[in-house]
Every structure is written in C-alpha cells, then in structure tokens.
Amino acid sequence: MAGIGVLIAEELNLGEVVALAFAPPGSSEPWELRAVLRHRRGYHYGFEFLSLSGQQGDVLRKYLPGLERAD
C-alpha cells in the first residue's frame, strides 16, 4: 500500500527521491508520484510513495488483495 518494487538497470542510492510514472491496471491516466528509495538488492529497488493521494490509495486497496507476492 505504501510503495512499489521496481527492477531498474541504474545505480540509485538509499534515500534518493525520484519521480515515478506508471499506469496501474484499469487506469486510463498514468500516475505521477514522488517516492523515496528505502531498499535495494542489486537492481531490485523498493520505493516508498511520498505523494499518494487518497483516491490513489483507494484504487490500490481494491487492486492489491488479488495479487500474488513475487518474492
């Protein structure tokens, strides 16, 4: 609910703030969010959202329970 895992072929540092743009399934408009890098393992990065709106949070609460964990 609070973030996203991303595979990126780039060198980023913990604590770095980035702009992310992605379209969640079923969304006609891409989301543009700010996020801070909290975890890194190789090129697998874990970002914490900094600018998630209430409406975006509602979309994630409905969508995420149907997913399986990738790890």
Alpha-carbon distance of 58 to 38, in angstroms, equals: 23
Residue 33 domain flag: yes
Which pLDDT tens digit goes with each residue over 27-68?
Answer: 788 999 999 999 999 999 999 999 888 888 888 888 877 777
Residue 9 domain flag: yes
- pLDDT at position 40: 96
Domain that holds residue 26: 3-66
Angle formed at CA 22 by CA 18 and CA 25, multiple of 5 degrees: 150
Q: Classify residue 35 by burial, with Cβ atoms within 10 Å: 0-12, 13-18, 19+.
A: buried
Residue 71 domain flag: no
Domain count, the chain: 1
Q: Average pLDDT for residues 8-24, to the nearest whole number? A: 93
Global pTM?
0.81
